[in-house]
Structure 1
Amino acid sequence: MDGHRAPMGRRNALGAGAGALAAALAAGCARSDGAGGAGGPAAVTRPPGTSSATTASGTPGPTVTAAVTPSPAASRAAAPAPRAFPGLPFRIAHGPRDRPRVALTFDGRGDPDLARAALARCEQAGAHVTVLVVGAWLADHPGLARRILDGGHEIGNHTEHHLDLASLDERAAYEEIAACARRLRRLTGSIGAWFRPSPTAYASPLLQRLAQRAGYPHVLGCDVESLDHAATRVATVTRKVAGELRNGSVVELSLGRPVTVDALPLLLAEIGRRGLRAVTATELLGRPAADVTRTAR
């Protein structure tokens, strides 16, 4: 669990599994995202009445929505608090390699209907996942906090506006982390189980310090990147993940994109075929499932 990405050479050791999946895809499972620019990153829509913010450097910043008052249903959801894992590095890229478990982790943004469809497909396969939400997206769709938790999943912080944190000054970068943490606390009672920087899972020493200041003892990285944010075909996503997946893998996916939703049944079937179990990132690292997935009702 040293935070290093699995080398591509490991695909040879998984040839049989990847080959079986490729055969299924060759039978007609590949499809495109569709027209209208769906292949690009999903946009975060903002409701009327929002205002423009200004960064610490005085340059125009992202549009900021007004504070959201959670509905009674959303406020009942109980999110687990961040947990420190002694002996592990600050940036955790994978779990134990000696247990047949993997963690599917999703960037929480994009089409909310597709997000619900992705969660439903995971639940149909008995998979529990980790969703790192963008705060502005959750502001537009606050009920999804409850939906994630009630599905037995866990929720975390992927910054407020999904900006490139490395391009911001220290004050603005910290506010991106802290603003999402505040939103999660209002909606779920906790700042969320994990933090993942945007737009990538890499955390510089400065971002590590800022995340710790915001209350996150670890950054959740990954060792398998699906690259679904740029993909237009299901086969591209499934072959990339299947070629690198192994015990302890943390897989990075997008929640609200068509290609990801279409790829999930094949990915979940491949996980089951290999005798693996999809669990939350917290459970992957050793916390009992009952403690991670409970919700207050």
Structure 2
Amino acid sequence: MDGHRAPMGRRNALGAGAGALAAALAAGCARSDGAGGAGGPAAVTRPPGTSSATTATPGPTATAAVTPSPAASRAAAPAPRAFPGLPFRIAHGPRDRPRVALTFDGRGDPDLARAALARCEQAGAHVTVLAVGAWLADHPGLARRILDGGHEIGNHTEHHLDLASLDERAAYEEIAACARRLRRLTGSIGAWFRPSPTAYASPLLQRLAQRAGYPHVLGCDVESLDHAATRVATVTRKVAGELRNGSVVELSLGRPVTVDALPLLLAEIGRRGLRAVTATELLGRPAADVTRTAR
């Protein structure tokens, strides 16, 4: 996803155009299959040539005792958790529970990122931010802002490079460097890992992520494509048309079109009787447990 910036002042509210945008959302929703989905256990996808045997428990990196920095002293970020029986790449949660997970690539304009978090909180939504390490280096207070809002934070590599184009050593360092930064800022390597620039993880990336301490990669089943969108209606129609029980939605944290679309998306989630939760809670861990100090 690209990281276009835009001034924040003109984007603080939906303004007089909200009615038109809501109508566009309603049109998109009319094509949706609604909140209902087939019941049953969480469905997942596997990269070619892999099986459920790729699931692993966190390695020493994920479980080693740490002393959080002063900035993280209030509460450490949740550590990665293995979900037994699920393969490495998790695309969505259970279809028989009215929950969805909004997941954000953490980069872009920091003011827009704060605005996006605030809008989620106003709607009672908890989200998952997969942060780019270099972005956190430039804006270290955002790690604490994410956690203090009741959200969870994870790893989206250090520089958002195309991991598939790197050799093994460089690809591992992209994952490990972001993990080290998260540990320094929050006391944990973060709850989840998502490769860049795509959520697909090759067998090599699976091994590298597991070596860094991540038992799963967080995929998605609803891509907003907001990185390429210029109109709110484009984003709302795309998400509303595919959203259902258990969905994991991929969004961008620091883009103006996403901030403007969030009130409509969150309202639609509520209208369908769904609840926006973190990815960890979507897969079964209670929210109160997610926000507790990590081991």
Shift of 1:89: 1.1
Query: Gaps spanning 5+ residues in structure 2: where?
Result: none
Work out whether residues 76 and 188 of structure 1, in 8 Å CA contact, stay in contact via their aligned partners in 2. no
Aligned to 1:261: 259
- More off after superposition, 14-23 vs 189-198: 14-23
Change (3 A) 1:245 1:54: closer
Shift of 1:60: 32
Deviation sequence 1:61-112 (CA, Å, 0-9, x none): 9999999999733454410000000001110000000000000000000000
Structure 2 CA distance for aligned equivalents of residues 50 and 92 of structure 1: 13
Structure 1 CA distance for aligned equivalents of residues 105 and 9 of structure 2: 27
Change (3 A) 1:240 1:25: closer
Structure 1 CA distance for aligned equivalents of residues 156 and 102 of structure 2: 15
Shift of 1:194: 0.2
Change (3 A) 1:135 1:14: closer
Aligned to 1:88: 86
TM-score, normalised via structure 2 length: 0.78
Deviation sequence 1:239-296 (CA, Å, 0-9, x none): 0000000000000000000000000000000000000000000000000110112469
Structure 1 CA distance for aligned equivalents of residues 2 and 218 of structure 2: 12
Deviation sequence 1:192-218 (CA, Å, 0-9, x none): 000000001010110001000000000
Change (3 A) 1:272 1:45: closer
Work out whether residues 6 and 255 of structure 2, in 8 Å CA contact, stay in contact via their aligned partners in 1. no
SS at match of 1:163: coil
Deviation sequence 1:125-162 (CA, Å, 0-9, x none): 00000000000000010011110000000000000000
SS at match of 2:12: helix
Aligned to 2:27: 27
Residue from 170, 190, 193 that aligns with 1:192: 190
Change (3 A) 1:34 1:233: farther
Structure 1 CA distance for aligned equivalents of residues 290 and 58 of structure 2: 39
Structure 2 CA distance for aligned equivalents of residues 6 and 246 of structure 1: 31
Change (3 A) 1:153 1:240: same
Change (3 A) 1:102 1:49: closer
Structure 2 CA distance for aligned equivalents of residues 295 and 232 of structure 1: 39
Work out whether residues 6 and 244 of structure 1, in 8 Å CA contact, stay in contact via their aligned partners in 2. no
Structure 2 CA distance for aligned equivalents of residues 49 and 101 of structure 1: 30
Change (3 A) 1:140 1:101: same
Shift of 1:35: 36
- More off after superposition, 47-56 vs 117-126: 47-56
Residue from 275, 279, 282 that aligns with 2:280: 282
Structure 1 CA distance for aligned equivalents of residues 204 and 47 of structure 2: 33
SS at match of 1:28: helix
Change (3 A) 1:8 1:226: farther
Shift of 1:33: 29
- More off after superposition, 286-295 vs 83-92: 286-295
Query: Gaps spanning 5+ residues in structure 1: where?
Result: none
Structure 1 CA distance for aligned equivalents of residues 170 and 44 of structure 2: 19
Work out whether residues 3 and 254 of structure 2, in 8 Å CA contact, stay in contact via their aligned partners in 1. no
Work out whether residues 35 and 272 of structure 2, in 8 Å CA contact, stay in contact via their aligned partners in 1. no
Shift of 1:18: 16
SS at match of 2:13: helix
